[in-house]
Amino acid sequence: MAKSKKEIIQELQTAMCDLEDEVVTSLIKEGIQCGMTTNEIVIEGLNPGLTIIGEGFEKNERFMSDLMIAGQIMNDALELLLPKTSMAEAEHDTGPRKGNVMVIGTVEGDLHNVGKRIVSATFGGAGIRAIDIGENKSAADFVAAVKKYKANIVGASAIIGPVTPYCKVIHNALVDAGLRDDVLFITGGWGMTEEWCNEVGADTYGETAIEGLAKVQKLLVGELPRWKDKVKKKK
C-alpha cells in the first residue's frame, strides 16, 4: 500500500537524522510519485532532520562527519528534486530574480569546499537558492556571479589562515562594481570573529551553517544591522 504524505515526511525526518542516504533517495522518489511538492519534501521532511543534526553538533552530540554527510544528503536531494535550479537553469534564467539567491564560493587560494557545501545545503533547505561557484575564486569571479545569477547574497568561504584577508578584496570588488549595497555579504571559516567580519566589510559571519542562516534571515528582514549601518553608527 502506498504511503501517505505524512508517513513519507516522518520517514524522511528519521532517515535524515540517521544519515540513511539511500533511504532518503528512495523516499524522495516515493514522494514525487505521490505528488509531494519540493517544499514538503525538503522543508517539512529533510530540514527538521538536518536541524536536529545541526543542533546536536552545537551540543557536541553529533560530529563533523554527521554534518558533512547530512549536507551531502541534502545536496543530493536538492539535485534530485530541483534539477532546474542548478546552475544550468540559472544560466538560462533571464527574468528578474525569484526569491533569495546566494552565490557562494571558496576564496582565491583556498580549495576547501566542505563548509561551503554544508552552507549551500542548509540555505537551500531554507528556501534560499544557493549557487556554488566553486573553489579558488577571485573577487572578479564573485562579482561576475552576482551579476549573472542576480544574487542578493554573497557567501565567501575562507578556511586557511593566509587567505581570509581576501574577503576584504571581495568586499572592495563588490563596492567598485556598484553591487555592495544590493547584496548581503556573509563570510565563514575557521577562526572568524565579529571584529574581523567588520574589518573586512562583511555584513555577518557564521561559525556554523545554521548560525549563518539565522543571521542572514534576520538581515533580510532588517532585524540585524548591515555592515554599512554599523560603519555609519561608528562615525
Partner 1 sequence: MLSFSVPQKEFKIGKITVGGTPGKNPPVLSGSIFFTGHLVVKDPEKGIFDQDKVKRQLEIDKVASEQTGLPRIIDIQGETAEALIRYTEFVAVNCDDPISIDSALPKARMQTLEHFKGSELIPRIIYNSIGYTYSEEELECIKTCGVKTAVVMPFSSKTVRPKGRIKLLNENLLAAAGRAGLENILVDTGVLDIPSISWSSKALWEIKDKTGLPCGCSPLHMVTHWEKMKARGSPCFEAAAATLLAHPLISGADFLFYGPMRNSTWVYSACATVAAMAAYGETLEGTRPISAHPLYKIF
Q: Which of 113, 122, 152, 187 binds partner 1 (CB under 8 A)?
A: 113
- By CB under 8 A, residue 94 contacts partner 1: no
User: Which helix (DSSP H) or strand (DSSP E) does residue 102 occupy?
Assistant: strand 101-107
Q: Which of 71, 124, 125, 155 binds partner 1 (CB under 8 A)?
A: 71
Q: Name which of 69 and 87 has its Cβ closer to partner 1.
A: 69
- The DSSP code for 162 is G
- By CB under 8 A, residue 69 contacts partner 1: yes
Q: Which of 32, 87, 160, 214 binds partner 1 (CB under 8 A)?
A: 160
- By CB under 8 A, residue 95 contacts partner 1: no
- By CB under 8 A, residue 18 contacts partner 1: no
Say which amino acid occupies 37. Answer: T
- By CB under 8 A, residue 111 contacts partner 1: yes
Q: 149-172 b/e with 16+ CB inside 10 Å = b?
A: bbbbbbbbbbbeeebbebbbbbbe
Strand-by-strand arrangement of the 153-157 sheet: 129-137, 101-107, 153-157, 184-188, 204-206
Q: How far is CA 133 from the centre of its chain?
A: 12
Q: Which of 43, 68, 82, 177 binds partner 1 (CB under 8 A)?
A: 68
- By CB under 8 A, residue 65 contacts partner 1: yes
Q: Which of 80, 87, 114, 224 binds partner 1 (CB under 8 A)?
A: 114
DSSP secondary structure string for all residues of 108-148: TT----HHHHHHHHHHHHTT-EEEEEEEEE-HHHHHHHHHH
Cα–Cα distance for residue pair 118/112, rounded to 1 Å:
12
- By CB under 8 A, residue 135 contacts partner 1: yes
Residue closest to 197 by CA, chosen among 159, 168, 219? 168
Q: Name which of 162 and 178 has its Cβ closer to partner 1.
A: 162
Query: Total residues contacting partner 1 (rule CB under 8 A)?
Result: 18
Q: Name which of 109 and 225 has its Cβ closer to partner 1.
A: 109
Binding mask 162-181 for partner 1 (x = CB under 8 A): x-------------------
Residue closest to 76 by CA, chosen among 8, 7, 125, 136? 125
Q: Which stretch binds partner 1 (CB under 8 A): 44-52, 58-66, 122-130, 197-205?
A: 58-66
- By CB under 8 A, residue 110 contacts partner 1: yes
- By CB under 8 A, residue 127 contacts partner 1: no
End-to-end alpha carbon distance in the chain: 67
Residue 179's SS3 state is: coil
Binding site for partner 1 (CB under 8 A): 63-65, 68-69, 71-72, 109-111, 113-114, 117-118, 135, 160-162
